[in-house]
Structures are given as structure tokens and as C-alpha cells.
Amino acid sequence: MFLGRSLGLFLSMSVAVQANNGEGYLSSIKKFFNQYLQVNSSPVNSSKEKIAGMTFPAQNKPKNDAIPQNSGDSQSKEKTVPQNPAAIILPHIATYKISLDKGSVNDDIDDANGFMTIKIFDTGDGWVFEQNSSLIIYSTSGEGEQVNTNVATWQDYAGNHYRFNSRTLRNGQEEDVIRGEAHKGAEKAPGKVIYHLPNYAEMDIPHETIFPLHHLINAVQKAMLGNSVVSNIVFDGSAETQEAVAVNTVITPAKESKLNIISDKPLPADLNKVWSMKLGVYPLNSKSPDPDYEIKQDVLNHGIIKNMTLDYGTFQVIATLDKIEFFTSN
């Protein structure tokens, strides 16, 4: 999932309409609404197609084991939580309906509707995350603007290497293309981000930076432990020359999920609970108590987002899970 300064979802996804640019799996959705974008790029086929001739070390798929962990609460019992990402991520494609929250008020936006798909699958050495969105935004003057977006990323199991591609179209006209890669530094050294499109650029990111899917995995693991707050530094590459951002996530206790969606097969039994998560996205080293923007998500086990609300102060946009399909890594 994307975070958000430019376009997206993360969750990926960060959407915002005429707001400050966002960052990452959050930025993915934020850019989607921030700039009324559309992205239609070729998806990342697999990690075998390396960027700019770079060779990444072979990755062994982590075992789906689970080890007992203590939540840190002396009153809570020991809980069994999957420690390896493969035990959290369930390959799937989810379809969402997107709408404007009628309870929010904005003088410029009259309505918005569309759909979004999120696809996560296993490549044998990591995961591919693809997000495709189509949205029509209506202004109070009655004019409509169509925004289509496509984001495709790959990250290895260990979270050390990350590749990102996005393309944006507005009313059928290409607006921008972003392509690059990021790598964590050895030991405590800073990581490196390399942009190949639209212009070549390099930048450092803090060593503790993680990438979008690992942020989602970490949040689900902490939720399963009963933790109420998770803080990470996240980079998703959803905007040109974008820096990593600080993401503070507040988690409420799990509730019964009560799913009412279309599925190609019986839903996994462990999708019976959902956590509400409120993500605040801040610039690194920000002293302000107020985030650039907030995203509210209801997240099921296996990192599947049930619904998402993007709050931009004067208006809110809602994405609601409508259909889900599960598939094997092959």
C-alpha cells in the first residue's frame, strides 16, 4: 500500500484532492485525489527484471512460522503472532468503490466516484503491489474531470530492496511518469534512493526507513499483539524527489469484521476481525503536532484493507471493499 505525497493508495494508497503532496502507499492515494491523477503504466512483471542492470541478492522465502510474543502489557496473556511477512501477506486482488463523503463540505468539489483495484502477489523472491484507479471528480460548476492511476512496485522479502513505477493520466493526457529504486544501507548506514524517471536523481534515506508493504505488515503484527501505537519512517516513491515520511499509526482493539463482499471462494476463517487504524503522515523531523494529512483504515488480517477514509480537512474520500479474489503465488 502506498503512503502519499503524490498519488496512490498503501497502503497502499494515499489520495488527496488539491492538497499538500503526500508520500507513499499513503501517498499513492493522496496523489490520486491531490492532483486528480491517472496512472496507466506497465506493471512490474517480476523481480527478475532488474532496474538499470542492478543485481539484487537472491531472497529465500521466509517460513510461515509464528512465535509467542508478549504485547508488553503485564495484564495481557502471551499471544502468538506471525513474525515472518509471508505469514501475514495473503496474495489477492481487491476491488474498491470510491466515493466522496457527503458529510464533508468543500466549496470546489461537488461529487467524486470511481473504483480502485489493489493486487498483491508473490514473485518467489518478494511481493509485487499493483494499484489501478479510475475516478471522476465533479466541481461545483458542473464540470467533470477523469483521473486514472497505475502504481506498480516490488520489494524483497527482507525489505532491503524496493522498485517503484507509476504513471498518471488526466482526461486521457499523460501527466507524469515516475520510476526508480531504493535500497537499505548496510548495518547503520543510510539507504539510497535512485530515480530514473522523469529525471535521474539520487538521495539518501534514514537507515531505519521501511517500504510500504513492510509498514502494513508491521502494523498488522502490532495490532495482533494489542499495541495501540506504531511509528515508522516510510518511503514509497510515489512522488518525484520525494523524501521518506514519518507515519504514526493509532490502532483500536479488534472488532468483528462482518464482511459482506463478493469473493471467488470462501473467505479465510481468520478474516473474522478488523482493526481500525488512523495514520498521521508527517515530514521527517517535523515539530508540528498536526500531520500533513490523515488516513483512516479498517484493516483485516493478512493486510487486506476493508475500507479507507482520507481526511483532508474540508472534505473526505471513502474507498470501500466490494470484491476480493485470492490466488496462489504462481
Q: How high is the mean pLDDT of the chain?
A: 75
Domain ranges of the chain: 25-42+85-326
Segment 106-133, tens digit of pLDDT: 777 888 889 999 999 888 889 999 999 8
Q: Is the pLDDT of residue 208 over 90?
A: yes
116-120, 180-184, 261-265, 286-290, range with the lowest pLDDT: 261-265
Q: Which of 55-69, 277-291, 296-310 bottoms out in mean pLDDT, i.e. has the lowest?
A: 55-69
Strands 262-263, 273-283: pairing is: unpaired
**289 vs 267, which has greater pLDDT?**
289
Q: For residue 162, is pLDDT > 50?
A: yes
Statement: residue 74 has pLDDT above 50: no
pLDDT level of residue 164 (50, 70, 90 thresholds): very high
Query: Is the per-residue pLDDT at 317 higher than 50?
Result: yes
Q: Alpha-carbon distance 170 to 30, whole Å?
A: 15
Confidence class for position 81, pLDDT limits 50, 70, 90: low
- What pairs with residue 114 in β-bridges? 98, 135
pLDDT at 39 over 50: no
Mean pLDDT of 38-45: 35
Is 70 exceeded by the pLDDT of residue 78? no
The answer to whether 33 and 312 have CB atoms below 8 angstroms apart is yes
3-class DSSP state of 193: strand
Top-confidence residue, 8 or 302? 302
* pTM (two decimals): 0.74
- Per the rule left: phi > 0, alpha: psi between -120 and 50, beta: everything else, 159 is left
- Mean pLDDT, residues 189-197: 94
DSSP 223-263: HHHT-SEEEEEE----STTPPPEEEEEEEPPPEE-----EE
Could you identify the residue written with the cell 542492478? 54
pLDDT at 59 over 80: no
The β-bridge partners of 142 are none
